[in-house]
Structure 1
Amino acid sequence: MGSSWLPEDAEGKTLALVLGCGAAVLLLLVVVVVVWTRRRRRKPFDISLEDINNDPISVKSAPTSRTPSPKLPKRLSCPDAFQFPKQSLLVRSMTVDRVPDFTLPPERVQPRANGEKGANTTPLQYQQSLIGSLQPDLYSHSSSFSEEEDNYLPMSTYGRLWYSIVYDAAVEQLNVTLIKVKDLPGRGSHRFPRDPYVKIFLLPDDRTCRTSKVRKRTLSPIFNENFVFQVSEDDIKNRVLRFSVYDVDKRKVRHSLGHVIVPLRDVDLGHVDTYWSDLEPMTQALSSLGEIQMSLCYNPQTEKIKIGVMKARNLKHADFDQDTRFYLRVQLFYGRKIHRTKRTGSRGASVEMDMNESLSFSVAGKQMDSCRLEAALMMTAQRNGGMLTHDVEYGRVVMGPFMYARGEELIHWQEMQAQPRVPITRWHALTSNVSHD
């Protein structure tokens, strides 16, 4: 009876069963604790919006350990309105049946002395009388053309220009006033407005000019600008004034709109009068020195420019005696450096001359934008029985790219480049810095 009733192998199996159950229970407890801990951690995120709104602690923006901000009493926007009893509250607005009657204070006018002229005039008349006391005749020019006559002038094709001229012999200054330009042709078929400006030349010195301001988006610009030229009294009658009107487009390209040629020998320079003249296109605006007809032809294969010299006409300032002769000198420039010089044969001086000669220059295609041609009509004078001979430049024409030429000369050069191996012929106005008396 002292030994166990269970066999040894049964006792071992029982012990193993008890240990396995204990381990399972322990593992189950661990799982329960882990699940409970995770749910505990996720519980603040599972709170509904309604619970948050009902919980006064959860809506605090600061920890409970922080001292809350002091609550200050509300300030009234109009405290004076509540300092009186209820029966005497201030009224801030009211409604009325009609606008109350009121009258403007009497107008105060500077009084005049008794017996003074215009003592009973209105304020506007009084101001006008003050302006009149400045004597505007001292500041404005007398005019031989009134503004009212502008409405009765005939229509102009290219536009009309107003100006005034006066010469001060004491200081040898020519004062030119550019007043306005009207009825310029618009851009395109829709007559869009232009940006015009005017350049004023005192020929034959066309390198020195005066330029007006640019007037934006208009076909009838008003300038009212004064320009001064220094010229001697002996030379003033031999000069010609030229107004050239230009337009600058959005690409900064200049377009010629017309010119006005004014020989000063036909103008009374002692009186300040206002004149008007119709603009003429480039083909009709002749230079005071005359014109020369030339042709240009460029052959890209041989890289040569062929210049044809045809005619010269309207030579006005030449001294036509039997000893004076003309020839054309053509120079090829690269920048400011003369590369090659050629000339035609000389001919006797006359108003119109036929030359019919050709000259050629070698120019590489890559150098076409950096070179220019200067054709100068030279006058050879013989004096002292033919012992002394000297050449005088009568007039010149500069043809080349945009860097060196403008107007017809620039167009002629561009047409030569656009149509290789085709002679392009044009008339060019002669210009010069030399005065011919």
Structure 2
Amino acid sequence: MYRITGLQLILLCAVPFVTILITLLFLCLCCDNGKCLKRYRFGKEPQQKKKESITSSLIYVTPKKKKKNDLSLSDINRGLPDTFVIPGTPPAHREVVACQQPPISNPRIMDRQHSMTSKLDPTTFDPSSDMYKPPPEPPRKKSLVEGPSLGILNFELKYSPDMNLLTLRLIEARNLQPQDFSGTADPYCKVTILPNCPKTMQSKVLRKTLNPQFKESFVFEIPEFDIHRQTVKIQLYDFDQFSRDDYIGDVLLPLDNVDLSDKLEVWKEIKKLKEKKMKNMEVPNLGDIMFSLSYLETAERLNIVILKARNLKQVSEKKDPDPYVKVSVFHAGKRLKKKKTTSKHSIVHPVFNEALVFNVSKNFLKYLKLEVSVIHDNRVGQNEVLGKVIVGPDSHGEELAHWNDMITSSKAVARWHRLFP
């Protein structure tokens, strides 16, 4: 009997199956023209041919819809195609209609002006225009004083007729001339109203500047009927720690033709007055006094050493004063303590060299002020005050500088001070 092996059995079963599979593939190729096999391509696809241009095609494909206001200049210049296809017709009966579109123009884009960052064309400028002409210079008033200019001072005046108060506010000075080889200055101002108000007020000292910013106000009491007879006088000095302060110049403003109904801002040149005018306008010279200040924190003691005085005024034409110095400690307008030196007989340049000591706590020191007065000891009648100076944290000028030096220094600091009425 003929035996069938395992291999022969497998071949007998596989042949019909392969025949059936080949038959099905052949039928698919014949019925579907091979389109079903295109889905199963192996390897890389060949490069597609470049698409023909839109204008050469009969079928117009509309681009993707853009958002509102999403129109560029290239889209406008590109235009629309020359031919359109009527939608809804079958492929075999499509009707092609020629449609020539008018050119699209955007006047908003065509008439756009140049940007601020674009280059300017110098040929378009008109040199005769008023825009390029410098403004006319204001007419300069004739100065009230003679001599070369030493800078310029800015201040304000305001008068209150209800309270009879004239407020003078120092603002600034510019282009001051240095008085020594350092090339700079330590300027301050002395303000007075002449002739009815001989009282002189002093500003603070500003260090190492030729363009100081003062920003200080001074108030004078003047009756309304007498205000136009007054003259504002501002003296500028250069502070010197080791000698007498250097005189810079003066600013004078007579109020006879000045309208004070509203706030008035003034710019005036700084000039040096002639000797005759200086004598007529100068506040009376009452002399100077020299004393030292020191504060010992551990013992809480304020030491004032009265050294000497000079150029004290005479009591009468033929009599020199008998001066002594009284130092008073004030707080909130009240005198707390006072001490005085011995009297010197008939002398205008006395030398005292006496120390006056006050017990003052450190926390209380910033609320005090010292009044140093030179007094004539009249043994017959009432004593006469020859002059005084006030030193404290609320003072100005040399007095304030002396007080601050005492606070910051551990040693005694001596200075000359001018006596005021």
Bin for the TM-score computed over the shorter chain? 0.3 to 0.5
TM-score with structure 1 length normalisation?
A: 0.43
TM-score with structure 2 length normalisation?
A: 0.44
